[in-house]
Amino acid sequence: MARNIDGTEISRVMRAEMAQQVAELQAQGITPGLSVVLVGNNPASQAYVASKTRACEALGMRGQTLNLPEDVSREELFAVIDRLNQDPAVHGILVQLPLPAHLPYKAVLEHIDPDKDVDGFHPRNAGLAFVGDPRAFIPCTPAGILEMLRRENVPTRGRHVVIVGRSLIVSKPLASLLMAPGPDATVTITHRHTPDLASFTRQADILIVAVGKQNLITRDMVKPGVVVIDVGQNRVDDPGSARGFRMVGDVDFDGVSQVAEAITPVPGGVGPMTITMLLANTLQAARQSAQARHT
Ligand SMILES: Nc1nc(=O)c2c([nH]1)NC[C@@H]1CN(c3ccc(C(=O)N[C@@H](CCC(=O)O)C(=O)O)cc3)C=[N+]21
C-alpha cells in the first residue's frame, strides 16, 4: 500500500517557518502584500482566490482581491494592473486564469511588472527559469512539487520522470527544473498526441500527471514502486456532501495506491503546496523590493 505524501502537513511546517520571516520583515516596517485580480465569477476560481488571500492573512501578509466584471475591457484590466505595478504596498500580483476569451491572456501576463510576477508566468521569469537564473520567480505548482520531493526524500538524480501534459504553467517549467543540475532527472513529457500513453507511464520512476482528466491513470499503467504526483483538480458531483461536489485528481487513487511506493492525494497534496509556494514567492518579492530600495 502506497505511502501518502501529505501536502497539507508539509505546507503547515513551511508556513510556520514563513510566518517567522514575515514577522521579521514587519519589524522592518514591511508587510508583504499579494493582490489577486479575478475577472468574472467562475465559482471554482472564486474558491481558489479566496483560499489564496486567506492563506496570506494567516501568515500576517496582506491579501487583497480585485474582482472585475466578466465583460471588463482589455484597457480597463491593463489600467488596474498598471495601478498595482506602481503601488509600493503591493509586492505580488496574480491574475487568476483562465481569463474570459475576449481578453488576450499572454498580453495580460506580459503587462505585470516581472518583479511582482509571483506566478512566474511573465516571459522574463519563464526565460530566467529556463536558463537556471536564481532571480526567476518559479511557477508555484512546479516549485511546490520540487519542494515535496525534496522534503519527502524522493531521489531524482538519474531517475526517469514522466510528466503527462504539456502546459505552460506546470509541465514545461517542471521539466526544465527537474532536468537541471541538482535534481538531475531524466525527463519525458507526453501529451494528447502521444500514442500508447501507458508504454511511457510504465517506464516512470516518478510519474507526474497534470492534465485535468479524472481516472486518466489506472493501476495497469504504472510500474510497482513508482512515486506518483497528481496535479489534477477535478470536481465530481457528490449530492451527499456539503458543497454538492468533491475533488479528485487525474489518477485512480485507490487502484494506483495498490502498486505505488508513494502518492499525493487530492485534495491535500499538490494543491496546498501550490498556495504555499505562492506565499513564498510573495515573501521573496517583498524582500527584493526592500533590498532594491536600500541600493
Ligand atoms: N494565475 C493563476 N495562478 C494559479 O496558481 C492558478 C490559476 N491562475 N488558476 C487556477 C489554478 C488552480 N490552482 C489551484 C491551487 C490550489 C488548489 C488547492 O489548494 N486545492 C485543494 C482542494 C480545493 C477544494 O477542495 O476546493 C487541494 O488540492 O487540497 C487548487 C487549485 C491555482 N491556479
Tell which residue, 281, 271, 234, 229, has the closest CA to residue 48.
Answer: 271
**Residue 205, amino acid:** D
Nearest CA to ligand 1 atom 11: 97
Task: Give ligand 1 pocket residues (Cβ under 6 A).
Answer: 47-48, 51, 94-97, 119, 140, 233, 247, 266-268, 271-272, 274-275
Q: For 140-271, which CATH superfamily applies?
A: NAD(P)-binding Rossmann-like Domain (3.40.50.720)
Span 217-231, average pLDDT: 98
For residue 114 the three cell numbers come to 516581472
Q: Taking the CA of residue 175 as centre, how many other CA atoms within 13 Å lie in the half-sphere pointing to its CB?
A: 16
* pLDDT given at position 27: 95
Span 276-287, average pLDDT: 98
Nearest CA to ligand 1 atom 17: 271
Contacts of 3 (CB under 8 A, 6+ apart): 261, 262, 263
CA distance 237 to 60: 35
Span 213-232, average pLDDT: 98
Residue to substitute in 233, 241, 251 for testing ligand 1 pocket (most ligand atoms within 8 angstroms of CB) = 233
Looking at every residue in the chain, the average pLDDT score rounds to 97
Is 52 annotated in the active site? Answer: yes
Q: Per residue in 124-140, pLDDT tens?
A: 999 999 999 999 999 99
ipTM: 0.98
Q: Per residue in 152-198, pLDDT tens?
A: 999 999 999 999 999 999 999 999 999 999 999 999 999 999 999 99
pLDDT category at 293 given cuts 50, 70, 90 is: confident
Share of the chain above pLDDT 90, in %: 98
- Same fold yes or no, 29-114 and 140-271: yes
Span 255-282, average pLDDT: 98
Does 29-114 carry CATH code 3.40.50.10860? yes
Candidate list 115, 117, 119, 250, residue with the active-site label: 119
Q: Per residue in 57-71, pLDDT tens?
A: 999 999 999 999 999
Nearest CA to ligand 1 atom 23: 267
120 labeled part of a ligand binding site: no
* pLDDT given at position 292: 84
Q: Per residue in 81-113, pLDDT tens?
A: 999 999 999 999 999 999 999 999 999 999 999
* pLDDT given at position 291: 86
pLDDT category at 251 given cuts 50, 70, 90 is: very high
For residue 173 the three cell numbers come to 517549467
Domain boundaries, the chain: 29-114, 140-271
166 labeled part of a ligand binding site: yes
33 labeled part of a ligand binding site: no
pLDDT over 70 at 295, yes or no: no
The model's pTM? 0.97
* pLDDT given at position 4: 98
